[in-house]
Amino acid sequence: MAFDIQDFNAGFYHFVLHVAKHGDDVKGSENGNTTALSHWMQHQHLRMKSKHSGSENVTPMTDEEELVLDQVRFPWTNNDKLWDLKYQKLVIFHEIHGHCKVPRDDEIGDWVAYQRKSMKRNTMPEKRINQLQLLGFHWSLKDRDENYRELVLFMETHGHCAVGRSQGSLRRWVSYQRESYKKRMDGEKSCITENQMKKLEDIGFVWSCDGTIVAVWHL
């Protein structure tokens, strides 16, 4: 089925108008315009599914269209099952390889790359962020040494290691170090080593988010 940009634009226009007037309860009305809007929304779900799996006979959604829909809070809930399916495959990959650096040519390579893009756009739900964090998801393709050097530079510039949210990927990496540390202190499986912890402590890294000093592993 060929993609009709005019159909997309018209549907998008009606979606924005409907939400402005009635909220997001598209099924709550029985008029013909709402029925057409509901069909348009279902079609966008199919296009999104095609983008990630290629299983639908529709034109895949583009990144630009997805960003536009994200900006008006288009409900992607119908894709939760698809996301969970991909996530379970990432869990298996992590169990086999011990990390989440999935090659781009892997079955879920494109999906993993999209998670990073979604996080960068700040459009990913917190629930999904937490699920990925549990696996030690790499929000940046930079390796550990690169992130560490960036943190050292931050410390030298600001005099501390309290990285703010505005620092993006560095902030996420720092948060992951704290989570990994806590797991190790609690006796759980953790990717962080004693030597890695010592290197962080040597530059004044604090293991708690609120600035209070907690026990360190190597003391």
Residues 88-94: contacts with CB under 8 Å, at least 24 apart: 90/132, 90/135, 90/137, 91/135, 94/135, 94/136
pLDDT at 216: 35
CA pair distance 89, 121, nearest whole angstrom: 24
pLDDT at 134: 85
Find the helix or strand (DSSP H, E) in which 152 lies: helix 144-158
The full set of domain ranges for the chain reads 5-75, 79-134, 144-202
pLDDT digits (tens, 9 = 90+) for 51-93: 776 666 788 888 788 878 877 878 776 567 778 888 999 999 9
Average per-residue pLDDT in the chain? 79
pLDDT digits (tens, 9 = 90+) for 10-40: 889 988 888 887 765 565 444 456 678 888 9
Q: Write the single-letter amino acid at 131.
A: Q
pLDDT at 209: 60
